[in-house]
Chain A
Amino acid sequence: MSRNDMNRIATRFELRAKEGRKLLIPYFTAGDPKPENAVPMMHAMVEAGADLIELGVPFSDPMAEGPVIQKAMERALEHHVSLKDVMEMVAEFRQKDTETPVILMGYLNPVEIMGYQEFAQSASKAGVDGILTVDIPPEEASDYVKAMKNEGIDRIFLISPTTTEQRIKAINDASGGFLYYVSLKGVTGAGHLDINAVQDRVSTIRSLTDLPVGVGFGIKDAESAASIANVADAVVVGSAIVKRIEENLDSADNAMKAVCELLTEMRQALDS
């Protein structure tokens, strides 16, 4: 199947919109705690109700992460998990799952060192659908956007509580797939979620875009997932999942079980 035959991200959002359901997007760091855990974890997440998987690319200096994801990246880096390795994991995942969209989330330097074009080509070949690079704002991203677009890789950018309307428009122009609203000022895993403020901001964003809007940062359990789902098209859960992996470092099976329990609860809360 060539890359133009389908866009898994758009397809999934359209399907869920028709069903009146919201997307559940779990995040975990590829290679945490071990490289061989990644692909089974991805399949298990899909089984438990994940709509799209956000796979973290380990980086030595993850400036926007809270302590939970920082440690996950350190665990993965102990096994020298590289950007290339992460794409190989996605390729392996695609042998059994050709429908669930996968996006990579990480920092610019590994992509920069590989080269935007080479990255985009390899990612497309591996079956990656989108990329979220935390530290490249659209102002610096024209070559990056061009390279990703050429290979059909969606560009997911963050919008924060401090982003001006003018910049939301610029971010929308550079984006593909969906927009990702960061629900709070802070790092991943922070704890002060204000649903009313999120609702206001998401409606502003909606007035400026045709893309679906996902919300992440600070979503910990089924209850907060459900309240975010009332205002957004997709709910992104990261640190809460990584925390469960961290609590089960001695057993990959237990880690998978704990993650799936959380996702199942969230899935039920979103669908009810």
Chain B
Amino acid sequence: MAEAETKYQQPDDKGHFGVYGGLFVAETLMEPLTELRLAYEKYMVDKDFLAELDWELQNYVGRPSPLYLAERWSRELGGAKIYLKREDLNHTGAHKINNTVGQALLAKRMGKTRIIAETGAGQHGVATATVCARLGLECIVYMGQVDIERQAANVYRMKLLGAKVVPVTAGSATLKDALNEAMRDWVTNIDDTFYIIGTVAGPHPYPAMVRDFQTIIGREARDQIQQHEGRLPNALVACVGGGSNAIGLFHPFIDDKDVAIYGVEAAGDGIETGNHAAPLCAGKPGVLHGNRTYLIEDNDGQIIETHSISAGLDYPGVGPEHAWLKDIGRAEYVAISDTEALQAFHDLTKIEGIIPALESSHALGYAAKLAPTMDKDKIIIVNLSGRGDKDIHTVATLEGINV
């Protein structure tokens, strides 16, 4: 009985994670969000739907992804054993596709023929365009003009996949503005359009639904570590922008109180400089993009531009469930600077022969600090959420090399 009482169960039926989350949208979206919630509730327990999802994840995405012991890197750091959950080996090179496959299958069941998405670095846009090509769905991706210039290769990938990439010039012309623009499209085209949000933010049911599509990461990792080590890990580490890869790893372990959970935000040039993307470490609660959560904002409630070397972490908000896990103390949120992330990027590449995404390099950067403080018989699982091929250009430019 006592055990059942303490079991973690969020959100409530209105989409609240404690005081966070919820449904803060313009009236026109209330009805389509209700329609989406009902479909999500129906299909997440529908055997046919789950079997179809499972088949796609196995045969199209390439799941399960391996749980790999980074033996040389662990030895070099001189502490806990570090396992990497290899989401970088998924089709399209990141965890994003777990969610886009799920939402696109749901869109098909709902009879929606037009898919829209927002993207920052372009990873979610590519994952959405990929699935739309696979399922024969029309795909429109909103992307900030600044990001389009920074991520030309991903823009071209999306176009090759048949998607239309729409530049957004409003506001700071980055991810948050792309999200605003996608919302505006949705409000105008709700009858035939499904909006695939790429992270665990947005109005209910998105934070719960995207989480549910991403928990495959944590469920696999839980089984795999027990096969490898016969026990659960001592700590989990994942990077947090919106926080979908992190919640995907963390969620199946929340009731395992002995497993420490660390979410790693982007400290950019350093929290003290103000140029960062770390709302949980340095922001305060507010309402943006349909939910209540921690935000980077000024004293008037205006959203402030963020900075991170990693475009995927460059977002002023964070998923509401992370806000709640922080407040209840179940997860600890820390921040890693651009410099520290770059160091981890190089170390993993040289020592393990794995080029990590700059986003994931933040998680690796924290693991590199944490591991030496732990005994050699302790275990850390780091979510290697994506591969770094997309970042080669950024890293080379920083180092003054022309590729």
Q: Which residues on A are within 8 Å of B, measured CB to CB? A: 59-67, 70-71, 74, 77, 80, 82-84, 107-114, 134-137, 139-140, 157-164, 167, 171, 182, 185-187, 190
Within 8 A of A (CB), among B1-55: 14, 22-28, 30-32
Listed by A's residue number, 22 A-B pairs whose Cβ atoms lie within 8 Å are A59-B302, A60-B171, A61-B171, A61-B288, A67-B170, A70-B171, A82-B300, A108-B24, A109-B295, A109-B302, A110-B301, A111-B301, A112-B287, A113-B286, A136-B24, A158-B28, A160-B30, A162-B32, A185-B187, A187-B184, A187-B188, A190-B188
Q: A187-B187, A187-B188 in contact; A182/B27 too (CB < 8 A)?
A: yes
How many pairs of residues, A versus B, come closer than 8 Å at their CB atoms? 120
Q: Which residues of B contact A187 (CB under 8 A)?
A: 184, 187-188
Q: Is the CB of A186 within 8 A of B188?
A: yes
CA distance A114 to B301 in the complex (A): 8
Q: How large is the interface on B (under 10, 10 to 19, 20 to 34, 35 or more residues)?
A: 35 or more
Cα-based distance from A167 to B190 in the complex (angstroms): 18
* Inter-subunit contact B180/A61 (CB<8 Å): yes
Q: Are A63 and B184 within 8 A (Cβ)?
A: yes
Known: A112-B292, A160-B28, A160-B30. 17 other contacts (CB 8 A): A61-B289, A63-B26, A63-B183, A64-B26, A74-B171, A82-B302, A84-B300, A136-B287, A137-B24, A140-B24, A160-B26, A160-B31, A171-B27, A185-B190, A185-B191, A186-B187, A190-B188
- B265 near A: Cβ within 8 Å? no
Knowing A162-B190, A187-B184, say if A134 contacts B26 (CB, 8 Å).
Answer: yes
* CA distance in complex: A83, B299 (Å): 11
Given contacts A135-B24, A135-B25, A140-B22, contact A162 B30 (CB under 8 A): yes
Q: Is the CB of B184 within 8 A of A109?
A: no
Provide the bound-state CA to CA distance between A171 and B303, in Å.
28
Q: Which chain A residues lie closer than 8 Å to B299 at the CB level? A: 113
Residue from the set B26, B177, B188 with the largest chain A CB neighbour count within 10 Å: B26
A62, A162, A164: the one contacting B180 at CB < 8 Å is: A62
Q: Which of A113, A114, A139 gathers the greatest number of chain B CB atoms within 10 Å?
A: A113
Task: Contacts A61-B303, A62-B180, A139-B14 given; indicate if A163 touches B26 (C-beta within 8 A).
Answer: no
| B301-A112 in contact (CB<8A) | yes
Q: Which of A59, A63, A67, A162 has the most CB of B within 10 A?
A: A63
Judge whether B25 and A164 touch: CB under 8 Å. Answer: no
Cα(A60)–Cα(B171), bound, Å? 7
- B270 interfacial contact with A, CB 8 Å: no
On chain B, the residues within 8 Å of A70 by CB distance are 170-171
B338 at interface, CB cutoff 8 A:
no
Tell me the dominant secondary structure on chain A's binding face: loop
B23 contacts A80, CB within 8 Å?
no
Assembly CA distance A160 to B292 (angstroms): 23
On chain A, the residues within 8 Å of B286 by CB distance are: 109, 112-113
Known: A61-B176, A187-B188. A110 touches B302 (CB 8 A): yes
Bound: A270/B297 CA distance, A: 43
Q: Max chain A CB contacts within 10 Å: which of B31, B171, B287? A: B287
Cβ of B290 within 8 Å of any chain A Cβ, yes or no, is yes
B177 CB to nearest A CB, Å? 8
The 7 residue pairs across chains A and B that have the minimum distance between CB atoms: A113-B301, A110-B301, A162-B31, A160-B28, A82-B300, A186-B188, A158-B27
Smallest beta-carbon distance A71→chain B, Å? 8
- Provide the bound-state CA to CA distance between A9 and B169, in Å: 38
Bound complex: CA of A65 vs CA of B170, how far in Å?
11
Q: Which residues of B contact A190 (CB under 8 A)?
A: 188
Partner of B27, one of A59, A63, A77, A163: A163
Cα-based distance from A109 to B296 in the complex (angstroms): 12
Smallest beta-carbon distance A112→chain B, Å:
5
Shortest Cβ distance from A238 into chain B, in angstroms? 14
Nearest CB to that of B177 among chain A residues?
A61
Instruction: Tell me, in angstroms, the Cα distance from A40 to B255 when the chains sit together.
Output: 60
Residue on B nearest A180 in the bound complex, by CB: B27
Closest to A70 in B: B170
